[in-house]
Chains A and B, each alone.
Chain A
Amino acid sequence: MAESVLVALSGGVDSSVAAALLVEAGHEVVGVTMKLHGSPVSAGGGGCCTVDDADDARVVAARLGIPYYVIDLTAVFERSVVEPYVDAHREGLTPNPCVECNRHVKFDELVARADMLGIDRVATGHHARLVDGRLVRGADANKDQSYVLACVDPVLLPRLAFPVGDMSKHAVREVATALGLRTASKAESMEACFLPEGRAPFLATRIDLEDGDVIDAAGHVVGLHGGAARYTIGQRRGLGLALGRPVYVHAVDVPTNTVRVAPDPPTCRGFAGTLTVWYGEAPTAWVDVTVQTSAHGRPTAARVRHVPGEDRAEITCSAPVPSPAPGQLAVFYAGDTVLGSAVVTAPDSDDPARRDLPDPRPNR
């Protein structure tokens, strides 16, 4: 049945093809680009980072013959994504801003605006599927984006569509090429949209990053780091140490500006999470799942339960797993189906409910 669909056009190939497929299927499609960051013209000068992407999206919309608009979400994005992102780094966490954007901004805003315009459904170019109302991994395992979507408010799922979720990236590019869309061969965006230069240079504009000590397992100072807030649990690259062997970050302590390293990657057999989202009943008894704790991380077998009466998930693993970085999203899957998610809490959280958990820092 033909519906009206608001499709979020990022200026990339996936959302371009998502819109094209919806048009082809006979839906009444309206394209919209969300301007999430970049200074407004009125702030003087007119720096507007999304101009090129918006122009790509605009040309695609014109080619498809659909109405197209740009909406300014810079204020809510700054408030709900960028500021919490910076604050989390001040606490030594490693947040995923795309997750938080999907949780707080993108889908809420799109659905609210679709409602205002009397539009039935919202579509994006994410590689994920909706099967019988459940969020499922995208068909192209290398491009699957179910991880970053696993925090979207469950009540919104019935309003969403991911038209390219059952296609391979290759197939998406083929469709774009066949339709003559200018985004057909556009490169993938690798970084979060407001971090074109990467994380550290951005953080340096918002946080006073000062050099501090890197300390090894024996407590010896083995080097200098450029600001503890820049580092992530489990990080190996970019430490700038010449120790003759690889070392891994085991702890980041922002108040003392120290980074602890050790020769082996940090592992744990359990951790906890908060800001829980469940698609379906919250499992108060332990259930077998696979858990993924970073956007491109490897899923591992685990058991999870939701602590009754609390916003808290506990995860145990049968064998040691690489310690997830606090602030990252832990996503729970049954096969390819997303069951829910929780944000990994810091292991030194003095929450009494942790008592029955295995030591999350066995290597320390």
Chain B
Amino acid sequence: MIYLDHAASTALRPEARAARDDVLALGPANPTGAHARAQAVRAALEDARESLACDLGVAPGRVVFTSGGTESDNWAVRAGAERGTVLYSAVEHPAVAVPAEATGGTVIPVDTEGRVDVTAFEGLVVDHRDRIGCVSVMAANNETGVLQPLAEIGEVLGTHCPGCIFHSDAVQAFTKAVLDVDAWGLGAVSLSGHKIGAPVGIGALVLGEGVELTPLLVGGGQERGHRAGTPDAAGAAAFAAAAHAALTDDWERVRGLRDELEASLGAEVEGLVVHGQDAPRVPTHLHVGIPGVAADMAVIACDMAGLAVSSGSSCSSGAQEASATLAAMGAAGDGALRFSLGWTTTSEDIAAALDITVDVVRRLRG
């Protein structure tokens, strides 16, 4: 099977597997315990925290391990909402958009590439200045891979609203694009392990210097009181190892493969639209619209031919649904397919994916 759904979950990295197995090999122990084995597991957890913090350029105490991107997003948005109105972009992942909407948040519109228009955003911030508690703008969109102007957004907030929490869901961007937590004035950054080569079930919320958020999970006071629950030391070790490996990956190689697939599909598929083509994107995502093709059937036909891709977002039943991101961009949404490459993708994968996709499109167009 040709796997081009890395944005949904990417391949486990050997470094991550080894790091996880090393911690599991220490034997059963709760890292909060007092005995020697607990101390060993706790040391592994803190090593992982330090490694990840170092790779992010922040102090270790600002890295809080969570169960993944959704928990991190929910936590940041809900804690941010305690301080005032939540402003969130129209293309946020449901893990941000759903809790933000529930608090009566305000949507930040995006342009036709799906990017926040910084000038319009500044106007919005000035209008809401006294009420803003939190601003949540993702680093890269999960569907299109389009990068948001976080540095400029951070600058606007630094000028007009220095007290609010600037949160970014960086689940898709982390390790594939620059992420400068402090320079951009970020107060909370969501990260996910399985998007970078660690197992599912580990993630982090990275806090800004001096930022304190009301915990989402309370109880035993673990993670320095930020997040109750027994820390997943093995997962954290895998996460840190995956991050370190991913940050030194050759993403320009992947970008070259993505660009090759984009160019070839454009040449072979009449009417192909590349969403976010003119915007800066992460090197891994290619989101296209194929007029005259039912996207859900294209995903099925590709799968039957041995190519795993996705379309829109999946409902919990497994049905493919229309893309909220494309709707926010004002794009047609016809035949929306997402190819997402990863660290294991080869040029052979791209050649085969091209053949299968062209064949499927020809068949579905009749």
Contact = CB atoms under 8 A, between A and B. Distances in A.
B322 A42 contact: yes
Given A30-B304, A44-B98, A118-B363, A70 B318 contact: yes
Contacts of A38: 317
B301 A41 contact: no
Interface stretch (B167-175, B213-221, B278-286, B292-300): B292-300
Most buried by A among B303, B304, B319, B324: B319
A69 B316 CA distance: 12
Given A35-B315, A40-B315, A58-B318, A71 B296 contact: yes
B296 A72 contact: yes
Contacts of A71: 296-297, 300, 319
Given A41-B94, A116-B301, A117-B301, A69 B315 contact: no
Interface stretch (A48-56, A210-218, A254-262): A48-56
A119 B320 CA distance: 21
B101 interface: yes
A41 B101 contact: no
A46 B363 contact: no
Contacts of B297: 71, 113, 116-117
Given A116-B294, A116-B301, A42 B317 contact: no
B74 interface: no
Most buried by A among B296, B313, B318, B364: B318
Contacts of A118: 363
Interface of B: 94, 98, 101, 294, 296-297, 300-301, 303-304, 313-322, 324, 363-364
A98 to B, nearest CB: 20
B319 A35 contact: yes
Interface of A is mostly: mixed
B319 A72 contact: yes
Contacts of B363: 116, 118
Most buried by A among B94, B301, B315, B316: B315
Interface string A85-122: 00000000000000000000000000001001110000
Cβ-closest 5 pairs across A and B: A72-B319, A70-B318, A70-B319, A54-B317, A35-B319
Nearest to B296: A71
B313 A46 contact: no
Nearest to A33: B317
Given A41-B321, A116-B364, A46 B304 contact: no
B191 to A, nearest CB: 23
29 contacts: A33-B317, A33-B318, A35-B317, A40-B315, A41-B94, A41-B315, A41-B316, A41-B321, A42-B313, A42-B322, A44-B98, A45-B98, A46-B94, A46-B316, A48-B316, A51-B316, A58-B318, A69-B300, A69-B303, A70-B318, A71-B296, A71-B297, A71-B319, A72-B315, A72-B319, A116-B297, A116-B301, A117-B301, A117-B304
Given A42-B94, A72-B319, A113-B297, 14 more contacts: A33-B318, A40-B321, A40-B322, A41-B321, A42-B324, A58-B318, A69-B300, A69-B303, A70-B317, A71-B297, A116-B294, A116-B363, A116-B364, A117-B297
